[in-house]
């Protein structure tokens, strides 16, 4: 089996990301399934190894093709953009926000040049991005712009549970206003298309409810009646196996058990 090359960004240098990366790459099974290469800062990774009491041989590579990709050696493209003497762990810093953005920008560039097969990202800090005057709120928005992708679709997967998001980084009040018949219908179509690309044919898609108990027929809100249900019926008329709205307190459990192939979550924290 050909092992794909995975570019791993270390996230915010002052956060948990570097330690997560070091601990992950200290697992031998990772190297059996892929070729991981870290995109980050050398001194930050060395510090993370010290924090974790893990010793890995550091192999600095100019390009992904220069990696060794063997267990015990951490392959890394060093951007050398963090002054470790000024780095304050757990603190919001412009230096960290700028570095985190540059790690991701480099990974995206390598992926677009087909030098990486995929990207895995460690956590960033949105306040640090803002402190560095980076004009993006998070990973999705950076990926959207730097890959010239219009309105990207976000999907999380845990085991066989797949979760799509209709809204992302907006205030909850605004997210509720964005849940319209038009938007729900369009996202059902997009989710079906994405699942087909991923090899899930004729998927069964559950749409989560917005209000408690999916509104209880108008007792706790009318969004389900006025916006969500008409969108689902419209999708069904096209032959799409969409169901709902299913109350959010049960839809994810049911999907994890295999009742649905995916769930369309309506707002950020609902699907997390």
Ordered mean pLDDT values, 10 residues apiece, the chain (272 residues): 94 97 97 97 97 96 95 97 96 97 97 97 95 92 92 89 91 91 95 94 94 84 91 96 94 95 93 82
Structure tokens at 172: 């909850």
Structure tokens at 38: 């870290």
Assign 219 to helix, strand or coil.
Answer: coil
- 8 Å CB contact between 128 and 35: no
Which pLDDT score is estimated for 106? Answer: 98
Which pLDDT score is estimated for 135? Answer: 94
* Superfamily name with CATH number, domain 155-270: Isopropylmalate Dehydrogenase (3.40.718.10)
- 8 Å CB contact between 187 and 264: yes
- 8 Å CB contact between 108 and 119: yes
**CATH-assigned architecture of domain 5-146:** 3-Layer(aba) Sandwich (3.40)
Q: Taking the domains of the chain in order of start, what are their residue ranges?
A: 5-146, 155-270
Which pLDDT score is estimated for 211? Answer: 86
β-strands 73-78, 118-121 pairing: unpaired
- 8 Å CB contact between 200 and 255: no
Assign 134 to helix, strand or coil.
Answer: coil
- 8 Å CB contact between 115 and 67: no
Cα(159)–Cα(108) distance, rounded to whole angstroms? 26
Which pLDDT score is estimated for 11? Answer: 97
| Cβ partners under 8 Å of residue 175, min gap 6 | 167, 266, 267, 268
Does the N-terminal peptide bond of residue 8 adopt cis geometry, omega within 30 degrees of 0?
A: no
Assign 232 to helix, strand or coil.
Answer: helix
Whole-Å CA distances, 19 to 15, 70, 101, 148, 262: 8, 19, 18, 31, 31
Which pLDDT score is estimated for 176? Answer: 87
Which pLDDT score is estimated for 151? Answer: 83
């Amino acid at each position: 089996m050909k092992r794909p090359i995975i570019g791993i960004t270390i996230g915010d240098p002052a956060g948990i990301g570097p330690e997560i990366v070091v601990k992950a790459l200290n697992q031998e099974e990772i190297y059996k399934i892929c070729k991981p290469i870290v995109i980050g800062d050398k001194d930050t990774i060395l510090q993370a190894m010290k924090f974790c009491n893990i010793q890995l041989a550091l192999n600095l590579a100019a390009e992904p093709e220069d990696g060794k990709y063997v267990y015990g050696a951490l392959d890394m493209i060093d951007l050398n953009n963090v002054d470790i003497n000024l780095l304050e762990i757990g603190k919001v810093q412009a230096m960290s926000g700028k570095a985190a953005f540059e790690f991701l920008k480099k990974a995206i560039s390598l992926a677009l040049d087909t030098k990486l097969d995929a990207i895995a990202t460690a956590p960033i800090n949105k306040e640090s991005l803002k402190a560095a005057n980076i004009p993006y709120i998070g990973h999705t928005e950076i990926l959207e712009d730097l890959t010239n992708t219009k309105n990207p679709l976000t999907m999380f997967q845990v085991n066989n549970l797949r979760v799509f998001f209709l809204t992302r980084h907006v205030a909850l009040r605004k997210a509720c206003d964005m849940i319209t018949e038009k938007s729900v219908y369009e996202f059902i179509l997009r989710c079906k298309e994405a699942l087909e690309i991923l090899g899930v044919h004729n998927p069964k898609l559950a749409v989560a409810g917005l209000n408690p108990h999916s509104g209880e027929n108008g007792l706790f809100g009318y969004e389900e009646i006025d916006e969500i249900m008409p969108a689902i019926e419209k999708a069904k008329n096209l032959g799409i196996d969409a169901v709902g709205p299913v109350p959010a307190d049960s839809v994810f459990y049911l999907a994890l058990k295999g009742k649905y192939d995916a769930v369309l979550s309506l707002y950020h924290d609902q699907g997390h």
